Amino acid sequence: MLLEVRDLHVEFRTRDGVAKAVNGVSYGVDAGETLAVLGESGSGKSVTAQTVMGILDVPPGRITAGEILFEGRDLLRLKEEERRKVRGAEMAMIFQDALSALNPVLTVGDQLGEMFTVHRGMSRKDARTKAVELMDRVRIPAAKQRVRQYPHQFSGGMRQRIMIAMAMALEPKLIIADEPTTALDVTVQAQVMELLAELRRELHMGLILITHDLGVVADVADKIAVMYAGRIVETAPVHDIYKAPAHPYTRGLLDSIPRLDQKGQELYAIKGLPPNLTRIPPGCAFHPRCPMAQDVCRTDVPPLYDVTDSDAERGSACHFWRECLHG
């Protein structure tokens, strides 16, 4: 396994008390594989990713347990200097908002080139050539001219391509894309997603794709991890989950995807709100919103049950996964 996160716990000290943002997350991704991480706002998707990248704000954040194995090495045990070498060269992150991730006072050529002058000791001239190559590669038209422009001179979709180019520059083994297309309009979203999937294939990278959008996941992901209140509640190969979810929360997410054949009908929404992370409900954290909840759900935290039916690995943290799967 390229990356393996094991039983990760992260909390934040807030004025309200300790917010338990990540509560025992385990997931993994192999070279050439795409893992999609799904879940409502506040479920801990980004905090988990930031912890993997080593960019968590500490404090207020605190990693209280877990391991992050990257090619077998626990990143949480590395010194900051070693960690910095991993970042950028071995793993890179793509954010939702390119405008704030890019430096507004440097041309995109200088920013892309910096990857090569700083990390690879290249001359400025060679780095500039590399920058143009990268811009071509992410299909920015007229790269040779546009390499001299500043981030604000690009459209949102083109800026996102530049951020992808930055992330790809050193050919990392792992890319984490945190809602990379959320700020774009729908057609541009699809193009950027396609580009990302294509580069992932070419470079045989592992990709962790964080998204709210179950709609985009089917086309690009190999497997899915669904998060709720800082835990993984379901994990499965992508096609299995669309066929039959094994957790009522996943079912709720699937039922809330707009469908063309149901135009005009009212869209299903999971009732209620995700919990306050300083006061996560006892038992299954989802029970107050769950249409299937029974007494046991209010008292006993469900483990991630092995739900494997074919040869693919599957897990569900629901006491009633059987009923959900076959119901």
Ligand X SMILES: Nc1ncnc2c1ncn2[C@@H]1O[C@H](COP(=O)(O)OP(=O)(O)OP(=O)(O)O)[C@@H](O)[C@H]1O
By a kind-dependent CB cut-off of 5 to 8 A, residue 54 interacts, out of Mg ion, ligand X, none, with: none
Pick between residue 98 and residue 246 the one whose CB is nearest to Mg ion.
98
60 binds ligand X (CB under 6 A): yes
- The stretch near Mg ion (CB under 5 A) out of 10-18, 41-49, 118-126, 196-204 is 41-49
- What token pair was written down for 208? 């962790």
Binding mask 235-274 for ligand X (x = CB under 6 A): ----------------------------------------
Check residue 30 and report its DSSP letter: -
Pick between residue 45 and residue 130 the one whose CB is nearest to ligand X.
45
46 binds Mg ion (CB under 5 A): yes
Bridge partners of 13?
A: 18
Omega within 30 of 0 (cis) for the link into 59: yes
By a kind-dependent CB cut-off of 5 to 8 A, residue 12 interacts, out of Mg ion, ligand X, none, with: ligand X
68 binds ligand X (CB under 6 A): no
111 binds Mg ion (CB under 5 A): no
E-assigned strands of 116-267? Answer: 174-178, 206-211, 223-228, 231-237
Pick between residue 131 and residue 208 the one whose CB is nearest to ligand X.
208
Cβ atoms 65, 9 nearer than 8 A: yes
By a kind-dependent CB cut-off of 5 to 8 A, residue 42 interacts, out of Mg ion, ligand X, none, with: ligand X
Distances (CA, A) of 142 to 137, 149, 153, 244, 247: 12, 11, 13, 46, 48
42 binds ligand X (CB under 6 A): yes
36 binds ligand X (CB under 6 A): no
d(CA 315, CA 302): 11
Smallest distance, Mg ion to C-beta of residue 23, A: 16
Contacts by residues 307-315 (CB-CB < 8 Å, ≥ 24 positions apart): 307/236, 307/246, 309/240, 310/240, 312/236, 312/237, 312/240, 313/235, 313/236, 313/237, 314/235, 314/236, 314/237, 314/240, 314/246, 315/232, 315/234, 315/235, 315/236
Pick between residue 29 and residue 199 the one whose CB is nearest to ligand X.
29
Chain residues in the site for Mg ion (CB under 5 A): 46
Chain residues in the site for ligand X (CB under 6 A): 12, 14, 19, 21, 39, 41-47, 57, 60-61, 212, 277
